[in-house]
Chain A
Amino acid sequence: MPDASGFVRLILLLIIVVSFPSTTANSAEREVKHVAMILFRGETPAEQGFRETLTTSRDFDIKITVFDANQSKDKLKTIIDGLDPSQFDLFYTFGTMASQMAVEKIKDKPIIFNVVQRPVEAMLAKSWESSGNNATGASNLVSMESAFRTLSLVMSIRKLAFIYYEKDPAPKYQKAEVESVRKKFGFKVIDVPVRDMESIPEALKQIVSARVDAVMFPADSFIKANADGIMTVLNQHRIPSVVIIPEMVKENGALIALGPDYQKLGELAGISALAVLKGKKPADIPIKRVENLKISVNLKTADILGINLPIQLLSLSTVIH
């Protein structure tokens, strides 16, 4: 008579034997699809959400090839120029700049763009409902009114500096959004464009001397890449930082993020990608937006700045200690 452990081993063996052919059969049934991921500043939670959504597909075995420009506009151009669209079934692009370049170059393959704040103004789509071309995707547009109403729980702003990379088109749309609520919330916007890395110290000098109440960081990859140094100076001068990219709160020590959940954005882009791979035309898929504003706060930064974060805000926020 077999003992108990032998019996368990026997059951396990049976399970493995039975499940092996079914899994191999499953992967054999799934159609292989090749996706090119064109990124400007490496993978973010948006790409994580995109990948996770694609892996849930029962119809496709998705193979993703990543092309990272490593924050170089020239490298991005080289990547897109060098791509052979016939080798891929779908293109995923991150950010306005990469998406614009891709839409210009790739005409016969579907493009799923992500983290593009204003796809219509960026000429990526004719409208939010239908792009009218081979692209669709997800937008990181946030309601500035909601953002500033949330911000009013934490601080009162009279002068707001808006720092952005002047060569990137996306922050300009965000600045226009901020300007549109300026009167309602009674603050002035101090424009702080940055040309390159060398001009950042000068921009910071301008912010400090203007005695601003807070600095706003748009969803700007260049500024994100240089955020560590900028945040250090701002925190030293006790100037609060308000960001759109949630990771900046954890990674760069920004005080508060009022933006979309990048993971969710990736999931939305992934849903559109799967629909396209199943045969739907990109132009028939509306551009998606996240439903809720994601609030992230950094308690350590709040302590440095001497800012008291109210409990009701903390209860709805991702809190970084």
Chain B
Amino acid sequence: MMLRGFIPIVIIVVIGVVIGRWDSSRHQLTFKKLTNYIFLPCLAFFAIHKHTFDSAEIFCIALAVLIIIGVITLVAVVVLREKFRGGSRNIPATVYMSSGTLLPPLAFVLFGNAGLAKAIYFHFFVALAYHTLGLWMVEGKTDLKAFLKNPFIYLILLGIAAELFPFVMPEIVEEFAWLAEKGIDLTAMGALPLLLISFGYPLGLLRLSDARGGLPGGVLRIIAGPLVALLVVYIYRRTGLLSMERGYDALGYIDHRTTEALLVLGAAMPTSNYAMRLEGDEVKAGKAETGTLLVSSLAGIITIPAVLLLILMLIFTD
């Protein structure tokens, strides 16, 4: 079942790689703007407004992201022999995962809307960590302004508001609201392949020879992430943050297991190309960073199904 979801995703990413190679980054910026300003925000609203707001769930995801990123940052500094502050971009390339491109479609296909909503929250905290800790480590200063310019944040808030305060509308207005909602839903569904293509696109610009320099970072990204996440899951279960108790309908139980699965899956994602700033027609990243992206992406073809199997065995099997 998991492969039924994973294989189509790999195919769409490969299409993105082919487009990237064929287009030679001419339209990458347009593509990126479309994704960041229209499709991803619509997807965020689509997922969040249909998902029951739960502050405990958000807290669990935020704390997990903090632990995962914190631990991998420390390991990366040691393994890659980089400075904690003022180091190369290979540190964020190793630490930050593609939570905004690869994770949401994968989460949606595997775990439905509940998984998608959790993936959106996960991405929110990863992006926040990148714009604060990540940039501070590389550039010596944070960039919250850039983070706050991202419309998807506001659509998340709007989605939460719509879920928390549903208001009764007259029937005619309701019909129009329904049409508008359908439009957003359609755009959100369109976002899923687009996000995957936007993940594959920069991979098409890279050379296989870049892989050598990215071996330590790429392997660390793809292996350390799920291991730390599994540790977080273990701690959450032990402390009762994600309890194992079953209720009458077992939905609370299912929801906790979905959060765990999402954390492990999210942490297992390859390097984020956003962390490397591959923009426009200029590849700004160095060889080590592009290598990290390449190695983690290629290795992900094997490690992600392996992680999915682990999720099935450790989380979804009694």
Contact = CB atoms under 8 A, between A and B. Distances in A.
A pairs with B = yes
Interface of A: 143, 146-147, 149-150, 152-154, 156, 158, 186, 291-293, 308-316
Contacts of B5: 308, 311
B168 to A, nearest CB: 9
A308 B248 contact: no
A312 B311 CA distance: 10
B254 A153 contact: yes
A308 B110 CA distance: 8
B50 A312 contact: no
A315 B317 contact: yes
Interface of B: 1-2, 5, 50, 108-115, 166, 178, 246, 248-251, 254-255, 257-258, 261, 311-312, 316-317
Contacts of A158: 178
Contacts, number: 70
B192 to A, nearest CB: 11
A291 B254 contact: no
Nearest to A184: B166
Secondary structure at the B interface, as helix, strand, loop or mixed, is: helix
Contacts of A311: 1-2, 5, 110-111, 261, 311-312, 316
A133 B2 CA distance: 53
B49 to A, nearest CB: 10
19 contacts: A146-B248, A150-B249, A153-B113, A156-B113, A292-B246, A293-B250, A308-B108, A308-B112, A310-B112, A310-B114, A310-B258, A311-B1, A311-B110, A311-B111, A311-B312, A312-B257, A312-B261, A312-B316, A313-B112
Nearest to A319: B1
B230 to A, nearest CB: 17
Contacts of B109: 308
A143 B249 contact: yes
Contacts of A154: 112
B248 A291 contact: yes
Nearest to B250: A316
A6 to B, nearest CB: 48
Nearest to A315: B316
A290 B5 CA distance: 34
Contact of B114 (A147, A153, A186, A314): A153
A293 B110 contact: no
A312 B318 CA distance: 12
Given A143-B249, A146-B248, A316-B254, A156 B112 contact: no
A315 B258 CA distance: 11
Contacts of B317: 315
Given A308-B112, A310-B111, A150 B251 contact: yes
Given A292-B249, A310-B110, A311-B312, 6 more contacts: A156-B50, A291-B248, A312-B111, A314-B1, A315-B312, A315-B316
